[in-house]
Structure formats: C-alpha cells, structure tokens
Chains A and B, each alone.
Chain A
Amino acid sequence: MAEFIIRRALQALLVLLVMTLLVFFGVNVIGNPVYIFASSECDQACLTAIIEDLGLDRPIWQQYLTFLGNLLQGDLGKSFTHGIPALALIFERLPATLELAFAALVLALGAGLPLGIYAGLRPEGWGAKLIMAFSMVAFSLPVFWIGLIMILVFSVQLGWMPSVGRGETVDLGGLELSFLTLDGLHHLVMPALTLSLIMMAMVIRLARAGMREVLFSDYIKFARASGIRESRILGVHLLKNILIPIVTVLGMEFGGVIAFAVVVESIFSWPGVGKMLIDAIAVLDRPLIVAYLIFVVFMFVILNLLVDILYSVLDPRIRFGGQER
C-alpha cells in the first residue's frame, strides 16, 4: 500500500508540473487584463502603470519562474481584482461549494441507490419503468434549464423557495455552514437538487445494471440455497458488489461537481468557487484562474487516490493482487 501511494504521489507531482505549464501559458496568451481594468480615459502612461502594477511588464518565462518559485512556498499569487492571495480566496469560497456538492451527493445516493436497486429487483414493474424514465430525463436535460424551471415554478409561481443566494450560516470551527439553519436549508434545497440530478440518474442506472448482473451470479444463488436471509443477501452480498462501479464513477463525478459547479452556482448565485472562477475569467484575473485550476488538478489527484484506496477496501481482489506482485 505504501509503495502504491508513493508511486501515485510522484505521478501526481509530474502531472502538477505539466499542468502549471499548460495553465500558466494558456491563460497568459488569452486577451490582456489591462484593457479590462483600465477605464476608457486611461492614457498610455496610465496603462503602463497598470501593466507594472500587475507585474506584466516582465517577459512571460520570467513571470512563470517567479510563479513556480512562489508555488514551491505554497504561494499561488495574488488575485488582480481582489488583491488577496488567490488561495485564501479559494478557501474562503470553498465551504459553500463543498456544502453544495455534499448535499448533492447525499441526495444522489440517498434517492438513487434505493430507486436503482428497486428497479433492478423488479425490472418489469411499472415502478421500475417510471424510475428509468426519470433517470433518462434527468440525464438528458441541460442543468441550467432545470435550474431555471425550478426557480420559475417553486420560487416565482408558487413562492415556496427563495430564488437565489445562500442562507444564514453558522460558524463551525472556522467553517461557515448553512445547512444547520432552517433558512440555510431552505436556500440549499433547489441548487443541491439541480446539481444532484445527473449524479442521481447515474447512480440509478449503475445500481440497476449491477443488480441485474449480480442477482443471477452463482454466489447469490448459492447464498439463497444455503438459506441466508433475503435482507442479508440484499444488504451485504449484493450491495457490496454493485457499489464498486458506483464508487468509481461518483468519485470522479464528485470532483467534477466541486470543480465545475459553475452553472448551478451562477444560476442560483451560490457564493462558491465556481462562480468565482466565472467572474475571474470575465476580467482575466490570471493569478486567480491559474491558482484555481492548479487547485482543481490537486484535488482530482487526491480524489483519484481516495477512490483507489476505497476500491481495495470494497474489493479484496484488488488489494490482494497488489500484494502478490
């Protein structure tokens, strides 16, 4: 296990280095932030001053080396727009996004798993057909459309839900969390549901497919024959085996949800990192964009590792295979 983790960590470092190159140069050839910030009355002297202030007067490779040097010290640079270390900005916004993503994950698993298992157990029933139809719809409708329709129906027409923003928060050990207050939950429901739909549809489909496969396998038949309770077969033998693909897919999907909850966050004006990224791109806040993308790469690498570890817990074959070599 230790060797496995070390190998993974080294790979991750290489990936990170390549990403800094790609991201830094990629972001630096698009447009020029100076013209976004400068007012129309700003003349050449004033433009030059801005260029110097933003540190853009030096050649790009020099800028990159400085960036890399700072990165090694854990400094990802200061945001142009806010004048605050980019990492601090990201961590300031991250709890909101994490909260949203976790709420979506809980919804996706909490509703998706039972529905999928049910659909797998009774595939011919009306219920199963309905569930599968729902998952098809949830898959294929664009997220922004669902979000807007939800706002239209539940906040504008019915007036049940607040349309935008995050509710009241409570401070929990430095983390501002909103799901602990009634107002916060109220604000959380619609964006979390919107964000969870695709994941939920995926869980339903994977759970159903897994059920269909595992249900007819020999060990289930033997388990049945040896008289093990149906609930134990379902809850232990079946569940454990259908969970492997679900964990793999959700692990990656969850990373995507955190990294790019952009659409849902901007529709619901959720003050998370996704919205921050969009705002940063609009004004070409290069340090913030770069810092965020590096952060995302880092997060994916970690998630990948976690998925692999979780895997081996769920499936002993992977663990033993690794040890035999």
Chain B
Amino acid sequence: MRPWMPGALCAALLAAAPLSAQDVLTIGVRSEASSLDPHWTQLSADLQVQEHIFEKLVALDSASQPVPGLAVSWEPLDETTWEFKLREGVRWHDGESFTADDVIFTFDRLKGGISGAPASPAFQLDKGSKSWEKIDDYTIHITTDGPYPTVAEDLAMLPIVAEHAARGVTESVDFNSGQAAIGTGPFLFEEYSPGSRVTVKKNPGWWGGEVAWDQVVFRPVTQDASRLAALLNGDVDIIDYPPTVDLPQLREDPDFTVSTIPSDRLIYLMPGYKHVEPFITDNDGEVMVPNPLRDWRVRKALSLAVNREAIRDRIMGGASLPAKNIVPPGFFGYVEELEADPYDPEAAQALLEEAGYGEGFRITLHGPNDRYINDARILEAVAQMWSRVGITTEVDAMPRNIFFSRLIRGDELSMPGFDVPEFSMSMTGWGTVAGEATYTVSGTLETYNAATGGGNGNFGRYSNPEIDARSVLAKRTIDPDTRRGILQEAIRIGMADYAYIPLHFQVNNWAMRAGLEHQPRTNERTLATEISRVD
C-alpha cells in the first residue's frame, strides 16, 4: 500500500531538521497547549507539554504512583507535619541553582492567586489547609491542619517555577514567549507558535540523565482522521488517541506499532437518587414516585443488562477494560476481587420483576458526545441493551460544554453551593489523577457536601452513611496500609449497593512509526522521555 513510506519519512525528518544528525521527535497531539504557564489551567493538553519543561517535587510514574522528583524523599514527622528533602545539585535551565526558596516562591505565587487564570492548581494547597516553611536550602516542612495523608499526591500536581525568572510575572504570555519558561525539566523551551507547534530542545544538564531527543515538536492535529494521516505519511512520529476503528489495522501493519495501557479514567453510569426524578417515567409517560432507581435491585438489573464485552469489542476496537472497580489495577485502593458484572439479561429481568418493575419503565440517558472515547456510541449501545430488558431508554447526547453545566449545576439560576444536578441517569467519567483512591471515594461515593468538598463528583446525590464514615476516616489516616483497607471497604460497600454502574476503564492508545518504543502512561499524557528509538 505504501511502497515508499521510509522515503517520505526521511524527507519529512530532513525538512524538519536541517542538521540531519539531530534526533527529532514529532508528536501529533489531539489538543493544543493553550499556555506554557504551569499554573494557568488544569487542562491535560497544557500539562503534558509543560511537564517537559517544569518538574514537581513529587513525580508520578507511568502507573501514576508517586516517585521522587525534585524532592528525593518525604516522610511525616508527626500527624500534621511532613518533611520534604529536596534534590541537591539541580540547576534551572539558565544555570541558577534550584533551592527551597524556589519551592516557597512557587507555593506563595499560587496562594496569592494567578490573576485571570481559568483554573490554577492552587486548590491543591488549600486541601488540608497546607502551610509551608523553609528549614534549610534543601529541606521544607509542610504543615496541615489535621492528619492529612495525601500531601505527596497533592504536591505531584504542583509544578515548581524559578523564583528568579517568574517573580513579578503575572501574564501567561511571558511564559509563552519563553522569558519565564525556565524549568528544571529534561527539555528547554524553544518555540511556542499557537495553533501550529510547540518546540522544546534537549536539556544537556538534566539531573535525570541523558535525554534521548535533541528536539521535540508538539503539533496539534484536532481531527482524528487527519492526525492518523499525518502519522501514516510520516509528518509526525507518534500520535495520541488514534481512532479506535483503525486500531486493528494499525496493529497488523509492520510499519507501525501501537502502545496500550488502561487509563485512570473510569466511565460509569450515574443514577439520580432524588425521590422524584423528572426523566424517569412509567410506560404511559407519567413521572414515577418513588423513583425506581432508589431500589438497589433495579440498579443491579441495569448493570447486568449491559454487555460490556460487546461494547469493548464492537465499539472500542478492543480498547477498554470492563470494570467494577473504581480505580484501575495497580492504583492504591484497587480491590482485587471486584470483577465486572457479567452480561445476564435474564437475571436482570428477574431482578426487575422482584423489585416490582416487571412491566418496565422509561428513562432518558444523558451523556456527552465529544468528551470520552466513542461516548455517543456507547450511550446508544447501553440504551439498546436496557430497552431489551424492558426499560425503554432514550438517549440525549450533547456537547460537553453544555453537558457538564447541566450535569453539575442543573438550572443556571441555582445558587453556587446549592446546585441541583439535572439528569436522572447520565454517563460520565472520573479520572483518578493522583493515582490513589482517597479522592475517588470521597468525590464519587461520599454524600455531597459543598462545605467539605465531599461528594463533589457525586451528581446523582447518592448518600450512604457507612461509606461517609469510612471516606472521612480515610482522609485523616496517615498509615498507608490502614488507609488502603478503609478505602477498599468503602469501595466494596458502594459497589455492592450499586451506588453507580461502572462500565469500563478507557484504554489509552498511542500509534507510532515502527522503530520507536513507548512506555505508555495511565494518565493519558505523552512524554518524550518515555519514547525511545530502537532502530
């Protein structure tokens, strides 16, 4: 099919780099980085580029577990104080030494608020009411207002900027121009050309060792088909989110390889728990009282009626991991024995019968159509499967920018803190970014409480005191083993009660030209340091 592929590839590489001896990696990414200020947004498209330039005290390995970054070690001194030992001999890109002052400056900068930033990560500092103190040039103490176990996980979200370069910088453009984009990371800022490319070049003095690439170019190609075409003709070396329909072909093609890993993003169906739910009606169209979804047998029936293998094989191109767990394998809090519900429509119908809904009812399933991999098609499939067991399901899929407002806030006029989520059954996703289950349990299973932040992702308004007690306890338990036990208990209780209906973990895929090796990451980011040449 592509007889002179290698030729085209060489030509493209030569065109990109006049010095042919250079090793250049071109990454085709789905979304563009909107800023190089690491404290500007929480959008992963931004973070993935920034991670090449800036580093954090705590890094995350490919399974999102905390490992030493700019801090070499950390430990709790007592219930509320954590000591972080910083890495010595690290230099900023402009040659200055990295010290505790930079860390203190970074935290102060965040605390002070980044003016105009649509979403700075400052809230990670507010969690546990952290305060910070420099002990010496390479030691800092973090104090919390009570026992707080996930200090390291929170700090893994906070990129450290250079005091001498970023002091006084308030405009994100100063980072985009490179003036303040001085980090400690494996790559130096080279060029930021909006809409077109971000280029970084090798940091020869990186503390982490020799960097394999002389130059890395991120090129945004939003359209899936175009991104794939750019890979096929050699314009780029590797792409994220290859279209799932093309995965089987890519896997078979000797010119390309695909790397795969389950992601931290759980896709699940969230029932609404209000006494009366507007989108749940009987077969005559009358709103049902009480809401049948409050009966756990109905929720279990809905779960059993979904054929997760069929979704994986026929919609996801094999790229999904059917689940009942709420964090993926390898994450802190994963429960070994929880296995995805089997497809059993007879049992589902029997359960509905038992619960008194033998004649079925009607439901509207809401979801986004541009947020998760193949989301609209999954919604259609689930609706058909549910309709087959007697629950006539209508799908209402909408763009994410509308979906999330209605999901979280409901009516536009509701007061902040008194949100009334609108949907009676919705499909959403939850990414366990920090690599551990504390905030997944608290966010999705705990009772909604605007003041404590509990249940801030619990849009069905599920409420179970047994889980609440454990979730609150886990958030205050320092000892990892005890905490893991508590979290697993909470997850077991929640899943036995079918608090929500997990479908699958998304599987992250990357497609690249043959001759590259990639260590994929659960958190969906594409890092050049994890890509190497083998040819």
Give chain A's interface residues, CB within 8 Å of chain B.
29-33, 35-51, 53-54, 78, 80-84, 89, 92-93, 96, 148, 151-152, 155-157, 159, 162-166, 183, 266-269, 271-272, 275-276, 278-279, 281-284
Which residues of the other chain, B, contact A92 by a CB distance below 8 angstroms? 194
B229 touches A152 (CB 8 A): yes
Q: Which of B14-61 contact A (CB under 8 A)?
A: 15, 28, 32, 34-35, 37, 40-43
Q: Which of B80-133 contact A (CB under 8 A)?
A: 113, 115-119, 121-124, 126
| B118: nearest chain-A partner, CB-CB | A37
Given A35-B404, A81-B118, A183-B15, also A278-B2 (CB < 8 A): no
Which residues of the other chain, A, contact B37 by a CB distance below 8 angstroms? 83
| B172: nearest chain-A partner, CB-CB | A83
Which residues of the other chain, B, contact A164 by a CB distance below 8 angstroms? 28, 219, 221, 226-227, 229-230, 235
Report the bound CA distance from A35 to B431 in whole Å. Answer: 15
| A35: nearest chain-B partner, CB-CB | B404
Residue from B8, B35, B126, B195 having most chain A Cβ neighbours under 10 A = B195
Nearest chain A CB to B121 CB, angstrom units: 8
B443 touches A271 (CB 8 A): no
Report the bound CA distance from A31 to B452 in whole Å. Answer: 26
Task: Using C-beta atoms within 8 Å of the partner chain, give the interface range for chain B.
Answer: 35 or more
Given A81-B35, A159-B233, A164-B229, also A283-B115 (CB < 8 A): no
Nearest chain B CB to A46 CB, angstrom units: 4
A43 touches B195 (CB 8 A): no
Question: Is B312 interfacial (CB-CB < 8 Å)?
Answer: no
30 A-B residue pairings within 8 Å (CB atoms): A31-B403, A35-B405, A36-B401, A39-B121, A40-B456, A41-B439, A41-B443, A41-B456, A44-B453, A45-B123, A47-B416, A48-B416, A49-B122, A50-B118, A53-B113, A53-B116, A53-B118, A54-B118, A80-B118, A83-B40, A89-B194, A155-B232, A157-B2, A162-B12, A163-B232, A164-B229, A164-B230, A165-B221, A266-B226, A267-B226
Which residues of the other chain, A, contact B456 by a CB distance below 8 angstroms? 40-44
A29 touches B412 (CB 8 A): yes
Report the bound CA distance from A84 to B175 in whole Å. Answer: 12
| B117: nearest chain-A partner, CB-CB | A53
B219 touches A165 (CB 8 A): yes
Given A81-B118, A93-B194, A281-B401, also A148-B2 (CB < 8 A): no
Q: Which of B7, B219, B370, B405 contacts A159 (CB 8 A)?
A: B7
Nearest chain B CB to A104 CB, angstrom units: 18
9 A-B pairs besides A41-B456, A155-B232, A163-B235 with CB distance below 8 A are A30-B402, A31-B399, A32-B409, A35-B408, A40-B433, A44-B416, A163-B232, A282-B399, A284-B401
Nearest 3 interchain pairs by C-beta: A271-B195, A43-B453, A46-B123
| A176: nearest chain-B partner, CB-CB | B193
B173 touches A156 (CB 8 A): no
Q: Which of A32, A36, A163 contacts B412 (CB 8 A)?
A: A32
Report the bound CA distance from A97 to B428 in whole Å. Answer: 36
B401 touches A30 (CB 8 A): yes
Report the bound CA distance from A48 to B409 in whole Å. Answer: 13
* Binary per-residue interface labels of chain B (441-461) against chain A in the complex, 1 for a CB within 8 Å, 0 otherwise: 001000000111100110000
B1 touches A272 (CB 8 A): no
Q: Which of B469-512 contact A (CB under 8 A)?
A: none
| A168: nearest chain-B partner, CB-CB | B15
| B220: nearest chain-A partner, CB-CB | A269
Given A41-B443, A44-B451, A82-B35, also A157-B1 (CB < 8 A): yes
A156 touches B401 (CB 8 A): no
Q: Which of B181-219 contact A (CB under 8 A)?
A: 193-197, 219
A50 touches B2 (CB 8 A): no
Question: Is B430 interfacial (CB-CB < 8 Å)?
Answer: yes
Which residues of the other chain, A, contact B439 by a CB distance below 8 angstroms? 41
A37 touches B41 (CB 8 A): yes
Given A44-B451, A81-B41, A271-B193, also A159-B8 (CB < 8 A): yes
Give chain B's interface residues, CB within 8 Å of chain A.
1-2, 4-5, 7-8, 12, 15, 28, 32, 34-35, 37, 40-43, 113, 115-119, 121-124, 126, 171-173, 193-197, 219-223, 225-227, 229-230, 232-235, 370, 399-405, 407-409, 412, 416-417, 430-431, 433-434, 439, 443, 450-453, 456-457
Which residues of the other chain, A, contact B451 by a CB distance below 8 angstroms? 44
Report the bound CA distance from A37 to B41 in whole Å. Answer: 7
| B175: nearest chain-A partner, CB-CB | A83
B119 touches A38 (CB 8 A): yes
Report the bound CA distance from A54 to B120 in whole Å. Answer: 12
B222 touches A275 (CB 8 A): yes
Which residues of the other chain, B, contact A45 by a CB distance below 8 angstroms? 123, 126, 453
Which residues of the other chain, A, contact B2 by a CB distance below 8 angstroms? 156-157, 159
| B406: nearest chain-A partner, CB-CB | A31
| A268: nearest chain-B partner, CB-CB | B226
Which residues of the other chain, A, contact B124 by a CB distance below 8 angstroms? 41
Residue from A82, A83, A159 having most chain B Cβ neighbours under 10 A = A83
Which residues of the other chain, B, contact A30 by a CB distance below 8 angstroms? 401-402
Report the bound CA distance from A279 to B221 in whole Å. Answer: 12
| A92: nearest chain-B partner, CB-CB | B194
B229 touches A156 (CB 8 A): yes
Which residues of the other chain, A, contact B221 by a CB distance below 8 angstroms? 164-165, 269
A162 touches B123 (CB 8 A): no
Report the bound CA distance from A152 to B126 in whole Å. Answer: 51
Which residues of the other chain, A, contact B12 by a CB distance below 8 angstroms? 162
Which residues of the other chain, A, contact B457 by a CB distance below 8 angstroms? 40
Given A156-B232, A163-B230, also A37-B42 (CB < 8 A): yes
Q: Which of A44, A80, A82, A183 contacts B417 (CB 8 A)?
A: A44
Given A81-B41, A157-B1, A269-B226, also A40-B431 (CB < 8 A): yes
Given A29-B412, A81-B34, A281-B401, also A151-B229 (CB < 8 A): yes
B222 touches A165 (CB 8 A): no
Which residues of the other chain, A, contact B7 by a CB distance below 8 angstroms? 159
B401 touches A42 (CB 8 A): no
Nearest chain A CB to B523 CB, angstrom units: 12
B370 touches A282 (CB 8 A): yes
| B12: nearest chain-A partner, CB-CB | A162
Q: Which of B43, B219, B399 contacts A37 (CB 8 A)?
A: B43
A166 touches B196 (CB 8 A): yes
Which residues of the other chain, B, contact A155 by a CB distance below 8 angstroms? 229, 232-233, 235
Nearest chain A CB to B220 CB, angstrom units: 7
| A273: nearest chain-B partner, CB-CB | B195
Nearest chain B CB to A276 CB, angstrom units: 6
Given A49-B113, A83-B173, also A283-B233 (CB < 8 A): no
Nearest chain B CB to A273 CB, angstrom units: 9
Report the bound CA distance from A45 to B15 in whole Å. Answer: 50
Nearest chain A CB to B333 CB, angstrom units: 15
B118 touches A33 (CB 8 A): yes
Q: Which of A35, A36, A41, A83 contacts B116 (CB 8 A)?
A: A83
Report the bound CA distance from A46 to B173 in whole Å. Answer: 24
A32 touches B119 (CB 8 A): no
Which residues of the other chain, B, contact A151 by a CB distance below 8 angstroms? 225-226, 229
Which residues of the other chain, A, contact B409 by a CB distance below 8 angstroms? 32, 35
Report the bound CA distance from A295 to B101 in whole Å. Answer: 46
